Structure 1
C-alpha cells in the first residue's frame, strides 16, 4: 500500500480542524467561564480588529473554529489569513521589515527568531505579560510553558519575542510488534542503534512476512533544516559543536567527525532503504506508515499521520522513544511554531489578548496531544496519558522539559545550514569524512566573515 504523505498531511490537518469545529458547535457563555476566571477585563478593547497571518499547519487550522469564542469573550474582531510557508515568509518579511503593520500577529518558526529579533521586527511581549491590567499571570502562567520553549523564543537581553504554541523534534519511532517478535529492545545509544539496525535486518530478511521491510532510516536529503536537523544533535552527543565561543565553525573536529561516521553507519548500507543517503522526510514517513520501515528517526509531530488508522497501516503497531545518546550525552533538535507580534502593529494590546488566549492552558488542552502543546502540566492529564503509545508520551514530556536546540540559530541560518548540509550529504554519499566537513567549515566561516564586515561597516 503506497501512501502520499504530502497530500495526506494537508488532509489530516483539515480533518483535525473539522473535528474541533464540530466540538465547538454549541459553545456558549458557559465555555467562557474558564477564561473569565482570569482577573482582567477581556472586553477592554471591544470594537477593535486584529489581523493574523498563519500557515495552514495543524495548530493554526485547529484553533480557527474557536476564534468566534474569542470574539465573543473580548468583542475584538479577528481576521485570520492562511498562506503557504514560502508565501507567508515573503509577505511577513515585507510587512514587518517595512513597518507597515498590515498584520498584527504572525506564526513564526524557530529558525527566523534570531533574524527578526535582531532587526527589531518583533515586539517584546514581556511588558504585556508583566502588566496586571492585561495579564493575570496566576491564571495564564507563562512559566507553565516548557522552559526550553520559553528560552528559545526569547533573547539574551531578556525580551520575549514570541509565545510557542506547539513543538517538534526528532525521536526514534519503531514498530513495537517487530522488535518484540525478534526479541529486541529500543536502542539507547547511537552505537546500539547501528548494531540493532544490522541485527534486525538479518531477522527481517529471514522472515517472508517482512519482505521489502527495512530496518532503519533518518534524514538524508540536503538543505538547511533537512539533514542538519538530525545530524546536529548527533554531533553534540559526541562532544562536538557547530561553532566555538568566537563564532568559528568547528564541526570538523574529531568529535564531530566521529559523530558523522556513526550517523553514516546508521543511515547508509545494509538495513537501510535504497537511496537512504538522500531520503527525504515525506518518503521516510510514507514508508513507515506503509509498513516498509521498522524504525525511523523523525519528528514527534508525525503522530497526526501515523496515529490515524485511515492513513497509516501501522497505526496500532508503533511506539517511540527519546533520541539516542552518545558519549557526551543526549541532545535534540527542538523546533517550535510560535505567535509573534509585529513591532509596527497599531493594535498591540488587543493582539496580546489574542496571543494570551491562544496559548492559554484551556485552549491547548482542547487541542490535545495531536497539537503537541508546549505546557508541561497538560502532558500528565488523563486525555494525554490515555494514549496507547506510552513511549511517545514520555518522549514528548522529555522534550517539554529537556529539549535542546543544536542547529545554529542565527540570521544567516539558510546560508550556514546549506553549507553544512552539503558537507553532511557528501559524507553520506561516501566522500571522506574529514575532507567533507573541513570544506563545509570553510564555506561557513566565509558566511560569518561577511557578517563581521557588515557589522563593522
Structure 2
C-alpha cells in the first residue's frame, strides 16, 4: 500500500470515527428513568456527530447528596469527570472549580433568558450554561374539582379547605387512602424550596435578603410554617415528612391525592400511558396567603459546567453547548416537559402542541424567587440545612415555628460573622 493511500485511509478513518483526535468524556448527572433514557439518547447523537465518546456517571436523586459528592471530587482535583450537571444554586459555591465559558459561548448566550445566564455568572465568569429552567406549581385534579363544583384555590387557606373537602368525599366514596395535598417535607434542599415558597408568598421575606439581612425570624414567616404544620396528618399523610419529589409524584400519579406541589417534569409523566390520572389534571401558580401577596415559586433549573481539571476541555465545552442547544432543549421540552431556557422555544408549534401547559408556565418561573445562594455564597449549604432543619422540626411537632426561627436567627448570625 502506497504512502498516499495510507494517508487517505487515515483521513477517512478520522472523519468516520474521530480517529486519534477523538476525546473520551464523562458527564455526571442525576438522570434516572425516562430522563436517563433521554440523556443517553442525546449523548449518542453527540457521539455520532463528533466522534467523541461520552460516559454517563449517574448521581443520587437528592440534590444535596449530589452536591456533596461533587465537592469531594472537585476538591480532590478529579480528572475523571469532565462535565457536571449543576443545580442553579451551586454557581457561587463551585465557580472556582469550573472553566469560564464566557468566551466559548458568546455566540449563543444572547439567545437565552438574561436572568438564567445571570444566575450562572459569578464575578463576571459564566460558570455553566443553562440546559433547562424550573419552577414548581400546584397540580390539581380538574376532574374532581368539576365533580364537586370547586374552583382552583388562590390562597393557602382555600387550598386547605378544598383539599379537606375533596379528601373527605373521595374517602366516603371508597378511596380510604386518598389525601388532599402532597408535597416535599423531607429534611433536604427540597424542603427549603417548599418552605421558602410558603414564607415568601405570605409576605415573610426570603430567609436572607439580597442585602445580607437575616429576615427569617418574623411573625409572617412563622405563621406560614405553622400553617403547613397543620396540614400534616390532616390533608397530608404523616409520611410526607419523608417525601421528596418522587415519593410525592408516586402518590399523586396513582390517583391518591387532589393536589400536589411539584416541578414541571411531573407533567409529562402524569400524562403517560401508565398514569392513573392521564388527562385528569392541570397546573396553576402556587397560592398566596392573602389577596395582594405575590405567588412565589422557587427558582430551579439545571445547567452544564466544565471542570477545570478536565483534560478534554475543548470537547467538554462542545458537549455543554450541544446539551444546551435549541435542538436538544426542544426535544427535552417535548419528551420530558422541562422548561426551556431559550425564549424562542415558547413560541414553537411542536412544543405548544405536545406540552400546551408550557406557555402558561412561563410567567411562573419569570416571577420565581431565588434561594439566597448568591448572597450566602459558599455558606449557602449551611444556611439551607439549618433552615430546613428548623422547618422540619416544626412540621414534626418539635417546637413552634417562632421558637425554631428564633434559634435559627442566632445560628445564622453566628454563621454569617462579619459578612457572608
* TM-score bracket relative to the smaller structure: 0.7 to 0.9
Q: CA deviation at 1:230?
A: 0.7
Deviations 1:43-79 (A, max 9, x none): 999924152222251555413324454344445x133
Q: 1:210–1:183: structure 2 CA closer, same or farther, 3 Å change rule?
A: farther
Q: 1:334–1:395: structure 2 CA closer, same or farther, 3 Å change rule?
A: farther
Q: In structure 2, how many angstroms separate the alpha carbons of the residues matched to 1:285 and 1:358? A: 26
Structural mapping, 1:257-268, within 5 Å:
257-265=222-230, 267-268=231-232
The answer to whether 1:313 aligns with 2:276 is yes
Q: 1:243–1:182: structure 2 CA closer, same or farther, 3 Å change rule?
A: same
Q: In structure 2, how many angstroms separate the alpha carbons of the residues matched to 1:45 and 1:242? A: 53
The answer to whether 1:353 aligns with 2:318 is yes
Which residue of the other structure, out of 75, 78, 83, is the alignment partner of 2:58? 83
Q: In structure 2, how many angstroms separate the alpha carbons of the residues matched to 1:182 and 1:91? A: 48
Of 426-435 and 355-364, deviating more is 426-435
Match of 2:285 in 1: 322
Deviations 1:252-308 (A, max 9, x none): 11221232233334x335333344455444432221112111111122212343222
Check whether the contact 2:297–2:365 (CA below 8 A) recurs between aligned residues: no
Check whether the contact 2:330–2:351 (CA below 8 A) recurs between aligned residues: no
The answer to whether 1:49 aligns with 2:23 is yes
Q: In structure 1, how many angstroms separate the alpha carbons of the residues matched to 2:69 and 2:222? A: 40
Q: In structure 1, how many angstroms separate the alpha carbons of the residues matched to 2:255 and 2:157? A: 25
Deviations 1:351-395 (A, max 9, x none): 2222212211112223333151332322332332224x74x4245
Q: Name the TM-score, length of structure 2 as normaliser.
A: 0.82
Q: 1:72–1:245: structure 2 CA closer, same or farther, 3 Å change rule?
A: closer
Check whether the contact 1:321–1:394 (CA below 8 A) recurs between aligned residues: no
Deviations 1:7-28 (A, max 9, x none): xxxxxxxxxxxxxxxxxxxxxx
Deviations 1:430-456 (A, max 9, x none): 43221121122222333333x96xx9x
Match of 2:13 in 1: none
Match of 1:252 in 2: 217
Q: CA deviation at 1:399?
A: 4.2
Q: In structure 1, how many angstroms separate the alpha carbons of the residues matched to 2:87 and 2:365? A: 17
Check whether the contact 1:170–1:332 (CA below 8 A) recurs between aligned residues: yes
CA RMSD in angstroms, aligned pairs only: 3.1
Which residue of the other structure, out of 379, 383, 408, is the alignment partner of 2:346? 379
Which sections of structure 2, spanning at least 5 residues, go unmatched?
A: 1-16
Q: In structure 1, how many angstroms separate the alpha carbons of the residues matched to 2:166 and 2:68? A: 46
Which residue of the other structure, out of 416, 425, 434, is the alignment partner of 2:402? 434
Q: 1:353–1:400: structure 2 CA closer, same or farther, 3 Å change rule?
A: farther
Q: 1:63–1:432: structure 2 CA closer, same or farther, 3 Å change rule?
A: closer
Q: 1:60–1:334: structure 2 CA closer, same or farther, 3 Å change rule?
A: farther
Q: 1:178–1:250: structure 2 CA closer, same or farther, 3 Å change rule?
A: same
Q: In structure 2, how many angstroms separate the alpha carbons of the residues matched to 1:129 and 1:291? A: 44
Which sections of structure 1, spanning at least 5 residues, go unmatched?
A: 1-42, 131-136
The answer to whether 1:393 aligns with 2:358 is yes
Match of 2:267 in 1: 303
Which residue of the other structure, out of 28, 33, 39, is the alignment partner of 1:63? 39
Q: CA deviation at 1:84?
A: 2.5
Q: In structure 1, how many angstroms separate the alpha carbons of the residues matched to 2:138 and 2:41? A: 33
Structural mapping, 1:195-210, within 5 Å:
195-205=161-171, 207-210=172-175
The answer to whether 1:219 aligns with 2:184 is yes
Structural mapping, 1:50-449, within 5 Å:
50-57=24-31, 58-59=34-35, 61-75=37-51, 77-85=52-60, 92-99=70-77, 101-117=79-95, 120-130=96-106, 137=107, 141-155=108-122, 157-205=123-171, 207-223=172-188, 225-239=189-203, 240-244=205-209, 247-265=212-230, 267-268=231-232, 270-277=234-241, 279-310=243-274, 312-326=275-289, 327-369=292-334, 370-372=336-338, 373-387=340-354, 390=356, 392-406=357-371, 408=373, 410-430=377-397, 431-449=399-417
Of 255-264 and 418-427, deviating more is 255-264
